[in-house]
C-alpha cells in the first residue's frame, strides 16, 4: 500500500478495463519515472479527446464533427445499413474493404446483468432511419456470444414486420481451422449458412464443365458399346482340331471371300443354281474355270519338281549327345584337357595328388610343450 497521490493514481488506473492491480502499479511507476513533457502530451491528448470528440448524430460512430466521414461520403450505398455494437467493429469491417454501405452503432449489446437493456441502446435511432425509402437491406453484425445473440434476436423480431430485407453475418468455421476442433453450434451454423456453388441441372446455359462431362459420357458410351459387341473367333496359323469348335461357338463365318476370283465363283454359282421346276443349260465356261483352278492347286511347283527325291526326304534328327559324342580312342582325361584347356604340368600334379595315399605330416614343433603328437591316420 502506498500513500497519497501514488495510491490514488494506482486506484484510478485499476479502474480501466483489462488493467489489474499489478498492471496499474507498473503503469503508475512508469509515469513517475517518465519525463514531464511526455506526461504532458498524454494529459493533453486525454483532455482533448474528451472535449472535442463526440458521436455522429446519424450512425453513432465516433467523430469530431456532427457527421462522421462515412456518413458524409456520397459514394457509399445508402440502401445498405450494417448494425454493429461498438465503434471498433466499424474499423474491423472497414479493413476488409468488402462493405460499401453505411453503419449504425448501437453502443453496446443487451446485457441485463450489466444493466443494459433495449432502452440504453440506440435502437430508436435505427427505427427512425428506416423511414428513408432508399434503405433496402439491414445487416446484423453482432458478436457471436450470448449478449450478441440476444440483441440480434430482439432486433429481428422488431424489424421483420416492417417488410425490410434482414440478414446476419455468417458464422462458421474460421480460415485455417479444423472440423474436428469445431463445436456443434459453430459447425451447425456453417452447414446452415453454406454457399451455393452451382445449381446443377437447373442451369440452362452450358459451360466448360458441362462440355467436359458430356465428352466423358460419350467416351464411356462408346467404350461400353465396344465391350458389348461380340468378338470374332480367334484366328489360327494352321488348321487344327479346334477350328470347328471355334466356328460353332463364334459368329457364323462370312461367306464372302477376300479373293475376288472366289467371290466371282460364288456369285456365279448362286446365279447358276436352278430354281425347282425349271430346266437350265450347262455353263461350259464355268466348268472350264473350275477345272483350271483345281489343276493349279494340284500341280507341284517348278522348284519342287527339280529337287531330287533324296533331298526331299527329311534327314533323321540327331541328338546333341550323338553329335558331340567323344571318339573311343580319346581318353576321358584327354577330353577333359581339350574342353578345359589346361596344361600338362597341371594335370600331372593333379594325378600325383590323386594317386598318393591320404596322410598327415608330422609337425616340426609340437602344439604344446612336452606333448607328443599322435597321427590319427596311422
Quote the distance between the C-alpha of residue 83 and its chain's center: 41
Other Cβ atoms within 10 Å of 137 Cβ, number: 14
The segment(s) of the chain belonging to CATH 3.40.1360.10 are 62-191
Residue 103: count other Cβ atoms within 10 Å of its Cβ.
Answer: 26
Task: Between 279 and 83, name the one with better pLDDT.
Answer: 83
Query: How far, in Å, CA of 329 to CA of 340, rounded?
Result: 19
* Cα 108 from Cα 145, distance rounded (Å): 13
pLDDT band at 321; cut points 50, 70, 90: very low
SS3 of 116-133: the string is ECHHHCCHHHHHHHCCCC
Q: Which residue has the higher pLDDT, 164 or 244?
A: 164
User: What's the fold here for domain 62-191?
Assistant: Dna Topoisomerase Vi A Subunit; Chain: A, domain 2 (3.40.1360)
The answer to whether residues 87 and 105 touch, using CB atoms and an 8 Å cutoff, is yes
Distance CA 342, CA 224 (A): 70
Q: Are the C-beta atoms of residues 280 and 273 closer than 8 Å to each other?
A: no
Q: Where does the pLDDT of residue 234 fall: very low under 50, low under 70, confident under 90, or very high at 90 and above?
A: low
**pLDDT tier at 344 (50, 70, 90 boundaries)?**
low
Q: Are 49 and 63 in contact (CB under 8 A)?
A: no
HSE-CB at 334 with a 13 A cutoff on CA atoms is 6
- The answer to whether domain 5-52 has CATH 1.10.8.420 is yes
- Of the two residues 255 and 200, the one the predictor is more confident about is 200
- Identify which has the larger pLDDT, 209 or 148: 148
Is the C-alpha dihedral spanning 42, 46, 51, 55 positive or negative?
positive
Angle at 336 between CA 333 and CA 341, to 5 degrees: 120
Average pLDDT over residues 319-328: 47
C-alpha–C-alpha distance, residues 118 and 112, integer Å: 10
Q: How far apart are the first and last CA of the chain?
A: 113
Give the max Cα distance, the chain: 148
Q: Quick check: 208 pLDDT over 70?
A: no
Q: Which residues pair with 165 in a beta bridge?
A: 137
Higher pLDDT, 132 or 248: 132
Q: What angle do CA 247, 250, 256 make, to 5 degrees?
A: 65
CA pair distance 16, 302, nearest whole angstrom: 123
366 or 370: whose pLDDT is higher?
370
Question: Among the ranges 51-60, 194-203, 275-284, 361-370, which has the highest mean pLDDT value?
Answer: 51-60
Say whether pTM exceeds 0.85: no
**Mean pLDDT, to the nearest integer, of 319-331?**
49
Q: Is the pLDDT reported for residue 305 higher than 80?
A: no
Residues 6+ apart with CB under 8 A from 118: 110, 154
Mean pLDDT value of segment 248-273: 50
**Over the stretch 326-340, which tens digit does the pLDDT of each residue have?**
454 555 555 555 555
What are the start and end residues of each CATH 1.10.8.420 domain in the chain?
Answer: 5-52
Amino acid at each position: 500500500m502506498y500513500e497519497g497521490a501514488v495510491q490514488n493514481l494506482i486506484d484510478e488506473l485499476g479502474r480501466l478495463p483489462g488493467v489489474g492491480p499489478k498492471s496499474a502499479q507498473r503503469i503508475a511507476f512508469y509515469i513517475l519515472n517518465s519525463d514531464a513533457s511526455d506526461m504532458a502530451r498524454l494529459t493533453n491528448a486525454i483532455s482533448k479527446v474528451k472535449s472535442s470528440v463526440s458521436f455522429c448524430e446519424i450512425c453513432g460512430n465516433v467523430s469530431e464533427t456532427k457527421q462522421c466521414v462515412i456518413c458524409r461520403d456520397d459514394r457509399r450505398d445508402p440502401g445498405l445499413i450494417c448494425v454493429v455494437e461498438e465503434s471498433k467493429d466499424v474499423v474491423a469491417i472497414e479493413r476488409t474493404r468488402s462493405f460499401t454501405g453505411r453503419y449504425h452503432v448501437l453502443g453496446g449489446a443487451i446485457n441485463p446483468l450489466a444493466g443494459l437493456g433495449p432502452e440504453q441502446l440506440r435502437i430508436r435511432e435505427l427505427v427512425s432511419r428506416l423511414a428513408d425509402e432508399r434503405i433496402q437491406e439491414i445487416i446484423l453484425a453482432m458478436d457471436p456470444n450470448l449478449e450478441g445473440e440476444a440483441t440480434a434476436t430482439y432486433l429481428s423480431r422488431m424489424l421483420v414486420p416492417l417488410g425490410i430485407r434482414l440478414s446476419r453475418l455468417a458464422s462458421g468455421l474460421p480460415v485455417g481451422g479444423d472440423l474436428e476442433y469445431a463445436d456443434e453450434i459453430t459447425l451447425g451454423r456453417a452447414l446452415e449458412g453454406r454457399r451455393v456453388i452451382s445449381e446443377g441441372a437447373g442451369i440452362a446455359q452450358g459451360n466448360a464443365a458441362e462440355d467436359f462431362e458430356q465428352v466423358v459420357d460419350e467416351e464411356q458410351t462408346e467404350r461400353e458399346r465396344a465391350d458389348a459387341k461380340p468378338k470374332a473367333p480367334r484366328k489360327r496359323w494352321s488348321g487344327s482340331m479346334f477350328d470347328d469348335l471355334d466356328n460353332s461357338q463364334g459368329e457364323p463365318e462370312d461367306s464372302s471371300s477376300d479373293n475376288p476370283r472366289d467371290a466371282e465363283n460364288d456369285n456365279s454359282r448362286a446365279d447358276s443354281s436352278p430354281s425347282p421346276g425349271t430346266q437350265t443349260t450347262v455353263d461350259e465356261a464355268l466348268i472350264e474355270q473350275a477345272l483350271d483352278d483345281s489343276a493349279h492347286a494340284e500341280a507341284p511347283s517348278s522348284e519342287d519338281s527339280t529337287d531330287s527325291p533324296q533331298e526331299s526326304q527329311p534327314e533323321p534328327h540327331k541328338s546333341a549327345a550323338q553329335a558331340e559324342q567323344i571318339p573311343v580312342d580319346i581318353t576321358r582325361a584327354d577330353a577333359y584337357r581339350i574342353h578345359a584347356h589346361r596344361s600338362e604340368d597341371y594335370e600331372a600334379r593333379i594325378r600325383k595328388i590323386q594317386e598318393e595315399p591320404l596322410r598327415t605330416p608330422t609337425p616340426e614343433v609340437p602344439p604344446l610343450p612336452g606333448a607328443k603328437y599322435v597321427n590319427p591316420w596311422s
